[in-house]
C-alpha cells in the first residue's frame, strides 16, 4: 500500500507538538509522589453531600509550642483573609507578611467547626473570587499556590472524593473534607508540603473552592476544607466581602506562573504565628 509523502514542514510540526505534550506532562508531575489509582467508574461523577459513612483520615494535632508559618489568601480588599485554623489557633500574635521582614498585624476569628480561620487586617489586597456554590465532580483539578516549606511554591491535584478528617488533640473534632490526589508540584520541591496549609484550592477558572489543610505524603494526597465549611466560616465571621476581581484561567501548564502573580500581588500571602499562647 502506498502512502502519500508528507511535506517536510508538517513532519517538523508533528515532532514539535509531540515534544510540547511530553514537556507539559513532565512539568505537571515534577517531584510529585505517586498518586492513588483512579476510579474509572466514578470519574466525572458529581460529588454528593458529606456523610458520616465517608472514609476517615486521622490527624494528631500537638499543642502549639513554637511559631508556625502558613499561607493566607484575600477574600476582600478591605483586609479580610482566610487561612487554616491550625496555623493560627493558639497564637498570641498573628501577622500577614507584606514584604521582606515586614508584616501587618491580624485579628483572628476561629471557625469552631472546621479547619478555617478568618484574619482581619487594616487594608488588604484584591480578593480571589469564590466558587463555593459550584458543583464538583470526581477528577476535577485543583491548584494550591502558597508557601510550602516556608518558600514560594505550589501543587496541583485531582479530586478523589469526600472523607472525614478526625482531629485528635488540640481542637479535637471531626469535619468533612475533600481528598485530592497530588499530580504535580513546583520543581525541586521535595518532601512534605508543610507551610502550604491555608492556601486556596483554586479551580480551573481561578475560583476558591476550599482551603488546603493537610496532606498524606505516603498516599500522595492533599486535603482541603469542603466548600460548605468555608462558606459557613465566612458567614459566621459576619464580615462584608464586597466585589470580587475576575478569576484567571489556570491550567497544568501555567499554574506556576499564575501562582507567582497571586503572591506578587499579595492576593496569596504568607501568614506567621509570631508567638504561641
Model confidence pLDDT, tens digit, residues 227-248:
999 999 998 877 766 556 667 8
CA distance 172 to 18: 51
At 33, the pLDDT band (50, 70, 90 cuts) reads low
Identify the pLDDT of residue 194.
92
Task: Please say if the pLDDT value at position 258 is more than 70.
Answer: yes
Instruction: With CA atoms as reference, report the closest residue to 73 among 178, 182, 155, 146.
Output: 146
Helices (H), 185-273: 227-237, 255-264
pLDDT at 106: 96
The mean per-residue pLDDT over the stretch 136-157 comes to 96
Backbone angles phi, psi at 168, to 5 degrees: -115, 145
Question: Residue 243 has what pLDDT?
Answer: 55
Q: What is the pLDDT of residues 171-189, one digit of tens each?
A: 677 889 999 999 999 988 9
Count CA atoms closer than 13 A to 243's CA, side-chain side: 2
Q: Could you give the residue ranges of the DSSP H alpha helices within 67-109?
A: 85-88
pLDDT at 112: 87
**What pLDDT shows up at residue 252?**
94
Domains of the chain in sequence order = 28-36+45-276 (2.40.10.120)
- On the question of pLDDT at 131 being above 80, the answer is yes
pLDDT attached to residue 7: 52
Res 82: pLDDT? 97
Averaged pLDDT of the chain: 83
Q: What is the pTM of this model?
A: 0.82
Residue 214 CA: distances (Å) to CA of 4, 72, 221, 225, 231: 56, 14, 9, 9, 19
pLDDT on residue 121:
95
| pLDDT tens, position by position, 48-95 | 777 777 877 777 666 655 668 999 999 998 899 999 999 999 898 999
Report d(CA 223, CA 4) in Å as an integer.
53
pLDDT tens profile 195-207: 999 999 999 999 9
Does 39 score more than 80 pLDDT? no
Amino acid at each position: 500500500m502506498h502512502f502519500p509523502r508528507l511535506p517536510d514542514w508538517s513532519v517538523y510540526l508533528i515532532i514539535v507538538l509531540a515534544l510540547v505534550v511530553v514537556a507539559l506532562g513532565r512539568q505537571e508531575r515534577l517531584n510529585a509522589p505517586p498518586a492513588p489509582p483512579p476510579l474509572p467508574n466514578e470519574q466525572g461523577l458529581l460529588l454528593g453531600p458529606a456523610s458520616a459513612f465517608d472514609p476517615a483520615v486521622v490527624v494528631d494535632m500537638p499543642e502549639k509550642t513554637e511559631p508556625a508559618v502558613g499561607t493566607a489568601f484575600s477574600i476582600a480588599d478591605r483586609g479580610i483573609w482566610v487561612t487554616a485554623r491550625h496555623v493560627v489557633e493558639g497564637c498570641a500574635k498573628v501577622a500577614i507578611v507584606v514584604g521582606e521582614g515586614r508584616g501587618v498585624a491580624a485579628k483572628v476569628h476561629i471557625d469552631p467547626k472546621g479547619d478555617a480561620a478568618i484574619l482581619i487586617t487594616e487594608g488588604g489586597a484584591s480578593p480571589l473570587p469564590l466558587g463555593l456554590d459550584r458543583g464538583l465532580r470526581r477528577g476535577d483539578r485543583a491548584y494550591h499556590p502558597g508557601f510550602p516549606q516556608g518558600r514560594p511554591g505550589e501543587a496541583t491535584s485531582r479530586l478523589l472524593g469526600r472523607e472525614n478528617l478526625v482531629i485528635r488533640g488540640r481542637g479535637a473534632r471531626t469535619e468533612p473534607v475533600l481528598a485530592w490526589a497530588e499530580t504535580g508540584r513546583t520543581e525541586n520541591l521535595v518532601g512534605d508540603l508543610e507551610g502550604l496549609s491555608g492556601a486556596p484550592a483554586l479551580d480551573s477558572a481561578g475560583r476558591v473552592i476550599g482551603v488546603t489543610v493537610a496532606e498524606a505524603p505516603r498516599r500522595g494526597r492533599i486535603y482541603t476544607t469542603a466548600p460548605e465549611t468555608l462558606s459557613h466560616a465566612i458567614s459566621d465571621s459576619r464580615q462584608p466581602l464586597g466585589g470580587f476581581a475576575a478569576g484567571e484561567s489556570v491550567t497544568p501548564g501555567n499554574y506556576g506562573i499564575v501562582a507567582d502573580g497571586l503572591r506578587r500581588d499579595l492576593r496569596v500571602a504568607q501568614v506567621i504565628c509570631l508567638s504561641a499562647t
